[in-house]
Amino acid sequence: MKYFDKLRMADIQKAFDSEVLEWKAVTSKPMMGCQCYFRGRKFICFLVTDGIVLMKLSDKDHEVMKTRFGGKPFEMARQTGRLWVTPLKTSKDLKQIMPFVKKRYEEIALTKPKAR
């Protein structure tokens, strides 16, 4: 199943990519029907149709985003997890979300790689 409609999200993705893909070590690729963004090998977020899902938000940031932007739990294959879809329909929405995306990006840099 496809969770990301490229045509419908073209303007948002273009604006998002123009900023995020300029950050050090950030890459993007389609996975599992979504457009995913990584810093190195760690997930930052993924775009879905009319929304964004940020990975591993702190409980505080999660509550702030739920209260401020609304949204709903992310569902995949009729399974609902802890991930939250934050609505993202305009460039104004994107500007309000970007501080949270940047914070997640910076948190990844602070985590130590796991020993193999």
Does the residue 32 lie in any domain? yes
Integer Cα distance of 80 and 19 in angstroms:
30
Tell whether 4 is covered by a domain. no
Q: How many domains does the chain have?
A: 1
Over residues 62-107, the pLDDT tens digits come to: 899 999 999 888 887 777 777 888 999 888 899 999 999 999 999 9
- For residue 115, tell me if it sits in a domain: no
What does the buried/exposed string (b/e) look like for 7-40 if buried means 16 or more CB atoms within 10 Å of the residue's CB?
A: eebeebbeebeeebeeeeebebeeeeebbbbbbe
Any domain includes 44:
yes
> What's the pLDDT at 114?
63
The reply to whether the predicted model has a pTM over 0.85 is yes
Picking from 61, 43, 52, 68, the residue whose alpha carbon sits closest to that of residue 16 is 52
The verdict on residue 102 lying in a domain is: yes
> What would the mean pLDDT of 54-69 be, rounded to a whole number?
89
Q: Is residue 5 part of a domain?
A: no
Domain that holds residue 92: 10-110
Residue 6 CB neighbour total at 10 angstroms: 12
Q: Specify if 1 maps to a domain.
A: no
Q: Is residue 2 part of a domain?
A: no
